[in-house]
Structure 1
């Protein structure tokens, strides 16, 4: 077995110093930019009084967390004034570039106090669990609501920090059960509100211009290999080439292949498998797609999904369409308690070539045929998200925000 080379003395210290140096540069740039950023923020509108604040005080690298909720929040703003709170100019600039929501710049405790008091903030929404959330949580007046940035049975979904929020919006009964079982002294019935998956009710850019009659669209979205054995969920090495060969062998199938952006970072074998999958797809010219663009359009566009133990599986489950989840090849990969993973038969590497048969058993039909509904998938979708069809999630989400706003107004 080939062992890794030992790290040179001081290498870790040098890496840390380089990281600290980069962060020091960012802090200096933010300090210089702070004076003019508040004025530029007004280009997206004035910060409303008595509105809903989305507290996003973190660095721009975490913008994907806000992006998960951006469209539902912009839709909410049509009926209840909504704005984003940032404490860094670089994060604020990134939000302004992507969103139509007003941005409030509150750098430091004093600025945050003035914002909460002068703007009569009634509800605060949080899309993550970063430590800086507690700067806003100290204010007792607003109703504080944890949204999170995706449904999952993984450990981060049951953080003890949930106790700090007045309410947690969850997808469905699964989130309520998960928090109630994991957190001591947490009244899940009183402090969780099921809102479904409002992200599904919006259109997303990036879909290819494929005619509806050109084939069955199968989305293969493997996760990365992970940085430790317990999260080695990626299927590219164990399943990837055989699975994709089986898909493209059917002339009625068109593949959307979306590898995780970190694929190959920890494992050269996964990087090699990614190249091999791309080569298989390239044999058919431009019939298939290697996707590295925006996320979200795939939910409406694809007819079925093959993915790994990742948030993609839960997002897709909410669509109600055929789903296959791969079984990790590594015996060391941690498998969380999960109805999805316990009740949905996983696809082992030995059956990768039978993926179309499995999809067929879960409701995938011929092009243009009426899709059968898999009762198991329908039941799991209802457990994790409740009703998701025809704007139901958006209505529940906005009603839940309105109820929180009314609760704050009674103080």
Structure 2
């Protein structure tokens, strides 16, 4: 397998329910690919078949560990980029003649975003200062030099979508997460709040609902699956409701007047819009405290009043002042296009450093 023309590997280990992670990095990677040729390494055959139908990058399907090692030995890539926390990432990390950089697919306050797995990578690219501080708060052997702030390149590529509505109508976004791999990561609000939330929003004909659930919602929990199916049924019978599938959720931000989020990276990206929203609390988590300052919190105590809370926030946006500081803390203060430029320049810098070190090793 000859890919000596490629300097960078984008390593993806995940199933089709995680394909959105690839989509999220598509535009920044397209820009990176103009300067440094990129090869996608995919370990799931269903994902590979989907990928080759719509992607512009070179790609190889790797079925087992032996083939992966042979690929690296034959090509000696400079950089490997990782966009999730798959345990199989550690198979590629065996390669020692290139830098390994963890990007993830968005930042949230979930415990996966402060895992000690981060120590295995040469560098971790974070969005803003909160990304660095989060690791500093939880890692026992924190090394600040490994954590590089590059902003959020995805926000440089937001498209402005349009939707048919009259002047009185408001667009309400409900974007819940999935039930995750274990109870301490189960932040999905769908089984607890979802059905009622959707029904109450749609009672008002001036509300247009966009429902954008995590693609893996319901894959591990029957209650989540049942509630999600009920919501989809409600949406199918409403002329004021839309289900959003694989499309980039960031592209609807310009339409939205108010949003409901679980503990997800989407809520942090939404800070970019400077608009009001609500955080749906399912698990009590101190790590979310800073983010709470930017939005209203809906929990078991006040859920019955969530419509009144939403209406008040659309009119008054009581967290507007605090949200400005939270936004800068989480997302930094980047002009449009600047984050993508920093991201690519950092990759270029590490390629030069890597190549120089490898050259010295060969002497």
Q: If the length of structure 1 is used for normalisation, what is the TM-score?
A: 0.72
RMSD: 3.5
Stretch of structure 1 that moved more, 176-185 or 308-317: 308-317
Q: Specify the alignment match of 1:290 in structure 2.
A: 243
Q: Specify the alignment match of 1:51 in structure 2.
A: 7
Aligned partners of 2:20 and 2:246 also within 8 Å: no
CA offset digits 1:31-65 (Å, max 9, x no partner): xxxxxxx7xxxxxxx84535111122455454333
Aligned partners of 1:48 and 1:82 also within 8 Å: no
Change (3 A) 1:82 1:308: same
Residues 1:323 and 2:287 are matched in the alignment = no
Change (3 A) 1:311 1:94: same
Q: Secondary structure at the match of 1:94?
A: helix
2:230 aligned to which of 263, 275, 279 = 275
Which runs of no fewer than 5 residues in structure 1 stay unpaired? 1-37, 39-45, 364-372
Which runs of no fewer than 5 residues in structure 2 stay unpaired? 358-363
Q: Specify the alignment match of 1:347 in structure 2.
A: 298
C-alpha separation in 2, matches of 1:237 and 1:85 = 36
C-alpha separation in 2, matches of 1:139 and 1:110 = 12
C-alpha separation in 1, matches of 2:168 and 2:14 = 44
CA offset digits 1:109-143 (Å, max 9, x no partner): 66445543543411111112323322322222211
Q: Specify the alignment match of 2:360 in structure 1.
A: none
Change (3 A) 1:245 1:128: closer
Q: Within 5 Å, which residues of 2 pair with 1:218-367?
A: 218-224=172-178, 230=184, 233-236=187-190, 239-240=193-194, 243-244=197-198, 247-248=201-202, 252-260=206-214, 262-263=217-218, 266=221, 268=223, 271=226, 275=230, 279=234, 286-296=239-249, 297-328=251-282, 333-343=283-293, 344-348=295-299, 349-354=303-308, 355-362=310-317
Q: If the length of structure 2 is used for normalisation, what is the TM-score?
A: 0.80
Residues 1:379 and 2:329 are matched in the alignment = no
C-alpha separation in 2, matches of 1:293 and 1:129 = 21
Q: Secondary structure at the match of 2:34?
A: coil
Aligned partners of 2:124 and 2:148 also within 8 Å: yes
C-alpha separation in 2, matches of 1:104 and 1:229 = 35
Q: Specify the alignment match of 1:197 in structure 2.
A: 152
Deviation, 1:289, is: 2.0
C-alpha separation in 2, matches of 1:182 and 1:232 = 20
1:95 aligned to which of 33, 51, 57 = 51
Q: Secondary structure at the match of 1:65?
A: helix
C-alpha separation in 1, matches of 2:6 and 2:242 = 46
Aligned partners of 2:126 and 2:132 also within 8 Å: yes
The count of residues paired between Structure 1 and Structure 2 equals: 350
Residues 1:164 and 2:120 are matched in the alignment = yes
Aligned partners of 1:69 and 1:199 also within 8 Å: yes
Q: Specify the alignment match of 2:348 in structure 1.
A: 402
C-alpha separation in 1, matches of 2:227 and 2:65 = 49
Q: Secondary structure at the match of 1:74?
A: helix
Q: Specify the alignment match of 2:99 in structure 1.
A: 143
Aligned partners of 1:222 and 1:259 also within 8 Å: yes
Q: Secondary structure at the match of 1:317?
A: helix
Residues 1:186 and 2:136 are matched in the alignment = no
Deviation, 1:315, is: 2.7
Change (3 A) 1:117 1:149: same
